[in-house]
Structure formats: C-alpha cells, structure tokens
Amino acid sequence: MSKIPFSDIVLYVFDFDGTLVDSYSCLPSVWMKIASLLGVPGERVKDFIREVLVEEDIGESTSSFTSNRVPLWVQRALGRLGLDVPRVDWEALTNVFWEERTRGTRVLPCAREILEYLRSRGRLVASVSGGDGVKSMKRRRIRESGLEKYFSDIVVSGEDVASKVDALNLLLRKYGLGKNQLLFIDDKVEPINRAAKAGYLTVRVGFKPLFERGWVGECSPTLFVKDLCILLKVIRRHRINQLPY
C-alpha cells in the first residue's frame, strides 16, 4: 500500500534527466564525436571515452552543474592518458557536446502518458532539475524533448534557485500548497534524500545509467517504483478526482 495520498496531491514535480528522458545511453557516441574533434589517436579513443565517462560520473554525483564542466572533464581525461591537451575553442566544443547529447536523448516509456494523464485530471505538473552548466541549456533540452508543453513551471537549480529543495519551496509558495499536496519524482539518491529531509513526499524512479555514483547509497523515498509505467498504474489505481487547474 502506497503511503502517498494521491487524491490529495495537487502538484507533481518531475526531474528531467533519468526520470523523464534517457540522456545517458548516447554518451559514448557523444564522446566519440568529441574525440574525433580533439584529434585523439584512433587506438586511444576507447581509453579516452572510458576516462571521460569517469569524470562525468563524478560530476553527475552532485545535484547540479553551476559551471561548464566539459573542458574540465576532457582535460582530466587526456591528462590521465598522457595525451596533450590541444588548443581548442572550448565553447564550441561544449556546444557540440550538448548538440549531440540533445540529439541522442530519448523520452522514457510512459513519460508522455503520465504527464498527459495528470494534466487531464487537473493536476499541476512542473519540472525541477539541475542546471547543465550552460545558461538556459536545460530549458532548451526540455523544449526539444517535446515535454515542455506539459509543465506549468520549469525551475532549474543552479540558475533560478540554489537547490532542488529551494525550487520545491518556491513552487509551494507560488501555489499556496501544503507539503502533503506536492509530490517530487526523481531518479537520484541525493535529491530524493534532501527533499525527504525537508518534509516532502517523494517517489524514486528506477533508472540504470552508464554511471553509478549519483544512483548508489541509502535512499529514503516515500515510494520506489521500477519505472514510470508502474507509477502511472499506481496513480490510475487511486482514481484521482478531477481538479479545476
């Protein structure tokens, strides 16, 4: 039995990467493109991809990016491999990274269905996610995923507010809701634990990325589900009433 009073939830707040979309499976091909632009020797490309993914894994273990980390990941990976760091336009290289990652992003099964269902029942649906280190990039990626139309609000931690909990507090004040009327859905350990500690109801959605640091450790969600399809079934079982939003 779920501990979440779904009939009382007015605002559903979703993380983006790993929760609504898979923007991780494409990363090896993204870094292969970057390796080509950097001139990494063919026999060292696999090593470069391995090392740069380690750096990105470390970066993903934090709740949000407040600065562009792509150059740092690249420089550290090349350094560990004993390869020279070429003179490169880092802004242009970062743009390539995000263009390729955006192109390779896929909406996860049942993501559109659950957002459409909640909207059809008069629920408010918002996006709260960490920044990408490039101003407005997260909003652009949400827009290009085709999911923007479902959200009443898009709040990016590291840009609009300092943290995801601050974003939840902001939305709570905006709509004059109590904490038992807001549900936060994420795939990572740290954001779930911080939201739970702040008194919010939470759902952790299972996700298997290429990385591990941000997804391991003790976690205390109100509810854990394997994927969004199961969460949709749970919500539908509760037959939530129509609200006038």
Q: Give 54-88 pLDDT, tens digit per residue.
A: 999 988 776 566 678 999 999 999 999 999 988 99
Contact 128, 15 (CB under 8 A): yes
**Whole-angstrom distance, CA of residue 29 vs CA of residue 66:** 25
What are the structural domain ranges in the chain? Answer: 6-23+106-237, 27-104
22-31, 62-71, 170-179, 223-232: segment of lowest average pLDDT: 62-71
Is 60 exceeded by the pLDDT of residue 34?
yes
Residue 71: phi and psi, rounded to 5, are -60, -40
- Bridge-based pairing state of the strands 106-107 and 21-22: antiparallel
Q: Fold for 6-23+106-237, please state it.
A: Rossmann fold (3.40.50)
pLDDT at 233 (0 to 100): 96
Q: CB burial class (10 A; 0-12, 13-18, 19+) of residue 222?
A: middle
Return the pLDDT at 67.
75
Can you give the pLDDT at residue 64?
A: 60
What does the pLDDT read at residue 63?
57
Distances (CA, A) of 234 to 4, 29, 62, 189: 10, 36, 30, 21
What pLDDT is stored for residue 186 in this prediction?
Answer: 98
| pLDDT band of 138, cuts 50, 70, 90 | very high
